[in-house]
Structure 1
Amino acid sequence: MLELFRQKMPLSCLLYGLLERCFSAERLDRIFLENAKEQYTREILFSTVCDLMLSVVLKVHPSINAAYQKQPEPLGVTVSALYEKLKGVELPVSQALLRDTSEDLSAILDALGFIPEPWLPGYPVRILDGNCLAASEKRLAVHQNVSGAALPGKSLVVFDPERRLMRDVFPCEDGHAQERRLLDAVADSMKAGELWIADRNFCTLGLLGQVHGRGAYALMRLHQNLPLTEETLFSCADENAGRRLLEKRVGVAGRPYRLVRVELEQPSRDGDAFIDLLTDLPAEIPAAAVADLYRRCWTLETAFQHVEKHFNSEIETLAYPKAALFGFAVALVAYNIFSVMISALDCAHQKPVSKDISGYYIAHEIAATFLALIQLGEGLDWRFVAACAPPEFAAWLRDTARHVNLRALKKHSRGPKQPKTKPPYDPKQPHVSTYQLLRGKK
């Protein structure tokens, strides 16, 4: 039966298999036991809570309460007890959920034979950026006399652009907190040889020193308040494609850095005529490569847009910060799952296909078949996907991906839209008959 599903619904089988692996009850309950300090399991398992949250994040149900009501069997707890459990999910548990699953998915990519396209050969790239959750509904008593929007929290996220994986998240319950207060925790996760790219908000003496102390490299937009000493004058480093690059050597806290200035063709929205980039990458890496690396770091913003568009990552009904941040962490795991699913399609065919297939058609096919797979496959045992080793599971993904009809998912690109002149509004003729217009045309 499962083999028939893999042939007829391969995309949904890929998704279901990855979900079963990342959100297996054994994995989730282990993560909870290893990282929870205050919460404990008494009436409801963390894996059950996570399954309900996942159904909301994937937009199967509009809210936690709706997911609770749709359970085929009673959970044995009230919905109030469920919300009490959610509002107390500790931040280290949410963080460990993303860390644990991303490490497993990275090992699966290796087993698939996925070859990442290096941004800078020899330097694993990590992009750091912040994400502030949208305002929640004012459901708590403390919101009653407050006119401002209620912010449930924010996070710093670490993205691996070469593997297209969200690697780590550093959540904070205080929506008004300065992101820099989380940088010490971020520095603890850095490894020697990595290249960390970040915006100017993170360009601080403390973080630059921690990056250097861990043997990693930094590429950040210069913050105007960062104290530095100028060791040389600007010299022209590159001039092509209408842009001009200047470079000079500077010092920060006694350490040597390169300052690359990118002169803009047009001023930025803030009125800046140039962008200054600070890096300690070796001199043999040209300034043009440094500028291109920073330009590409906006892929994390694009990934955030995908998370917001395709998943319910900011659940308005979750007003308690820990519950909202837990939902965001689950959405990041879901993004990684879809990313690995696309990589499996690339690895299953002779050449990469992800650039030629449409995300719209993929979402449409999954929406049309996923619910049928769940209902028809209730008697199937999917637990083997969670228990097998990464090479074995990667082989299963590859074999399943070969059944996908790529022709049905192919993009249909169109030419650029031609500008149209809008006819002036005529109040004497507020509406027209399409039938009469067609007859007049004939």
Structure 2
Amino acid sequence: MIELLCRKMPLSSLLRGLLERCFAAERLEALFEAHAREQYTRDLLFSTVCDLLLSVVLRVYPSTHAAYQDRQQELNVSVVALYDKLKGIEVAVSAALVRETARDLSALLDALDCPPKPWLPGYAVRILDGNCLEASEKRLGVHQGLAAAALPGKSLVVLDPERRLLVEVVPCEDGHAQERSLLEAVLPTVQAGEVWIADRNFCTLGFLRGLRERQAAVVVRRHRSLPFGEQTPFAPAVGGEAGQRLFEQRIEVEGRTYRCVRIELPAPTRDGDTHLDVLTDLPDTVDAATVARLYRKRWTLETAFQHLEQHFASELNTLAYPRAALFGFCLALVAYNVFSVMRAALDSAHSEPVSKGVSSYYIAHEISATFRALLLLGEALDWQFLATCPPVQFAHWLRDVARNVRLDSLKKHGRGPKKPPQKKPYDPKQPHVSTYKLLRDQ
């Protein structure tokens, strides 16, 4: 049966196998026991809650209640008990889920033997950015009578852009919290030999000092409030990509020398800035053009956030309690990582990389059309062997299934640059037209 499903529904089979690997019940219960401090298990297992809410994040079900209703007999608990469990899942558990599954998926990428192209040879690149969850529905008693939007939380997310994996998340229940206040929790994840790319909001003395102490480098836009001293004037301009002019000088921050790469902008930003100043402590062998290119590719993480919003139910505004909303967001991060491994499996199954020409939209569309049928047809026990097999053996299974994918049905269809819309004349005396008459009179 499983071989037939892998032939007829290869993308959903890849997803099902990877989910079995990441969300094996025994593994999830061990993770919960290791990181939960307040919550405990009575009737409803953490692995069961993960499985149910993940089906909502993947849009198999339109809502949490719809998923509960379909699996009510299996759960054998009330819907109130389910929501009580969700609202109590601690942020440390959610963060550990992302971190540990990303570590295992990274090992699978190694086993697939499809090494990524390094962004900066000799360094492991990390991109840091914040994400604020959209306002939730006002379902709680404390929301009644309020006109202001109710923010369920925010988080800092770390991307490994070479592997396309979201490797760390720092969730925060306070939707009003300043992103800078969460940086202290990011520093323990920093490893020697990494280069961290971030926007100016993360350009603080504490963060720069923490990276330096951990022997990591930085590429960050200078914040205007950062205290520094000039050591040299700006050198004559050099050429960058897209005809940009780049200037470079040396500055001192807390007794340490940094290079400041000034990037002239073709047009002022909405804040009126005509240039960007990017700080780095990378060695001089990494020239100004490379520093500017690394900073410009910081938007890779913003693109990942867009994919989360487009292809997954990453921000469930029906989950008003902060912990529940953040848990759903973290499940979406894991789902994004699973999709990255699926893309790598497609590359590994063919003689040349193919994932860049594959549309995420068509992948998500095919999975949404077939995944629920696969769940109904395939017994859960059929997939359990994938949870414990060695990474090399599992990578071999991924390649075999990926060869069944029809790439021509997933091909991207590029379009030219968008033309600026022209303002159309409007006649209030003729608010509508007849398409039939327009076609007749053309």
TM-score bracket relative to the smaller structure? over 0.9
1:272-294 CA-to-partner distances (Å, cap 9, x unmatched) read 01100011000111000000000
1:381-436 CA-to-partner distances (Å, cap 9, x unmatched) read 10011111111111100110011111222223344556776663455655444444
What secondary structure sits across from 1:73 in the alignment? helix
For the residues of structure 1 that align with 2:194 and 2:127, how far apart are their CA atoms?
Answer: 10
What secondary structure sits across from 2:150 in the alignment? coil
For the residues of structure 2 that align with 1:430 and 1:133, how far apart are their CA atoms?
Answer: 39
1:139-178 to structure 2, matched below 5 A, reads 139-178=139-178
Q: Could you say if the C-alpha distance between residues 145 and 13 of structure 1 is closer, same or farther in structure 2, counting changes exceeding 3 Å?
A: same
Letter in 1 for 2:15: L
The answer for the alignment partner of 2:22 in structure 1 is 22
1:100-146 CA-to-partner distances (Å, cap 9, x unmatched) read 10000000000001211111111100001111111111111111132
What secondary structure sits across from 2:47 in the alignment? helix
What secondary structure sits across from 2:357 in the alignment? coil
What secondary structure sits across from 1:7 in the alignment? helix
The answer for the alignment partner of 2:349 in structure 1 is 348
What secondary structure sits across from 1:148 in the alignment? coil
What secondary structure sits across from 2:159 in the alignment? strand
The alignment status of 1:384 with 2:382, answered yes or no, reads: no
1:295-374 to structure 2, matched below 5 A, reads 295-374=296-375
Give 5+ residue unaligned stretches, structure 1: none
1:135-214 to structure 2, matched below 5 A, reads 135-214=135-214
What secondary structure sits across from 1:319 in the alignment? coil
What secondary structure sits across from 1:236 in the alignment? coil
Cα contact 1:2–1:380 (8 A) shared by 2: no
For the residues of structure 2 that align with 1:191 and 1:420, how far apart are their CA atoms?
Answer: 48
The answer for the alignment partner of 1:408 in structure 2 is 409
The alignment status of 1:257 with 2:258, answered yes or no, reads: yes
Displacement of 1:56 after TM fit? 1.3
For the residues of structure 1 that align with 2:386 and 2:264, how far apart are their CA atoms?
Answer: 52
Cα contact 2:311–2:361 (8 A) shared by 1: no
For the residues of structure 2 that align with 1:58 and 1:395, how far apart are their CA atoms?
Answer: 25
What secondary structure sits across from 1:300 in the alignment? helix
Cα contact 1:87–1:323 (8 A) shared by 2: yes
Equivalenced residues, count: 441
For the residues of structure 2 that align with 1:314 and 1:436, how far apart are their CA atoms?
Answer: 45
Displacement of 1:72 after TM fit? 5.9
The alignment status of 1:113 with 2:106, answered yes or no, reads: no
For the residues of structure 2 that align with 1:420 and 1:68, how far apart are their CA atoms?
Answer: 45
The answer for the alignment partner of 2:52 in structure 1 is 52
Q: TM-score, normalised by structure 2?
A: 0.96
Cα contact 1:230–1:249 (8 A) shared by 2: yes
Cα contact 1:203–1:220 (8 A) shared by 2: yes
Displacement of 1:78 after TM fit? 1.2
Q: Could you say if the C-alpha distance between residues 370 and 266 of structure 1 is closer, same or farther in structure 2, counting changes exceeding 3 Å?
A: same
For the residues of structure 2 that align with 1:423 and 1:107, how far apart are their CA atoms?
Answer: 55
1:21-53 CA-to-partner distances (Å, cap 9, x unmatched) read 111111211110111111111111000111111
For the residues of structure 2 that align with 1:121 and 1:101, how far apart are their CA atoms?
Answer: 26
For the residues of structure 2 that align with 1:431 and 1:148, how far apart are their CA atoms?
Answer: 37
Q: Could you say if the C-alpha distance between residues 239 and 2 of structure 1 is closer, same or farther in structure 2, counting changes exceeding 3 Å?
A: same
Cα contact 2:125–2:160 (8 A) shared by 1: yes
Q: Could you say if the C-alpha distance between residues 145 and 433 of structure 1 is closer, same or farther in structure 2, counting changes exceeding 3 Å?
A: closer
1:332-383 CA-to-partner distances (Å, cap 9, x unmatched) read 0011111111111011101111121222222222222222211222375100
Q: Could you say if the C-alpha distance between residues 343 and 145 of structure 1 is closer, same or farther in structure 2, counting changes exceeding 3 Å?
A: same
The alignment status of 1:88 with 2:88, answered yes or no, reads: yes
1:183-216 CA-to-partner distances (Å, cap 9, x unmatched) read 1111111000000011111111111011000010
Letter in 2 for 1:156: L
Letter in 2 for 1:400: V
Displacement of 1:437 after TM fit? 4.1
The answer for the alignment partner of 1:293 in structure 2 is 294
Cα contact 2:59–2:368 (8 A) shared by 1: no
The answer for the alignment partner of 1:99 in structure 2 is 99
Letter in 1 for 2:137: E
For the residues of structure 1 that align with 2:72 and 2:81, how far apart are their CA atoms?
Answer: 18
1:139-184 CA-to-partner distances (Å, cap 9, x unmatched) read 1111113221111111000111100000000011111111122111
Letter in 2 for 1:376: L
Moved more, 267-276 or 404-413: 404-413
Letter in 2 for 1:182: L
Give 5+ residue unaligned stretches, structure 2: none
The answer for the alignment partner of 1:6 in structure 2 is 6
For the residues of structure 1 that align with 2:392 and 2:192, how far apart are their CA atoms?
Answer: 27
Q: Could you say if the C-alpha distance between residues 417 and 187 of structure 1 is closer, same or farther in structure 2, counting changes exceeding 3 Å?
A: closer
Q: Could you say if the C-alpha distance between residues 432 and 141 of structure 1 is closer, same or farther in structure 2, counting changes exceeding 3 Å?
A: closer
Cα contact 1:154–1:175 (8 A) shared by 2: yes
For the residues of structure 2 that align with 1:386 and 1:316, how far apart are their CA atoms?
Answer: 32
The answer for the alignment partner of 1:266 in structure 2 is 267
What secondary structure sits across from 2:332 in the alignment? helix
For the residues of structure 2 that align with 1:425 and 1:213, how far apart are their CA atoms?
Answer: 63
The answer for the alignment partner of 1:397 in structure 2 is 398
Cα contact 1:237–1:287 (8 A) shared by 2: no
Displacement of 1:319 after TM fit? 1.1
Deviation beyond 6 Å, 4+ runs, structure 1: none
The answer for the alignment partner of 1:64 in structure 2 is 64
For the residues of structure 1 that align with 2:75 and 2:396, how far apart are their CA atoms?
Answer: 36
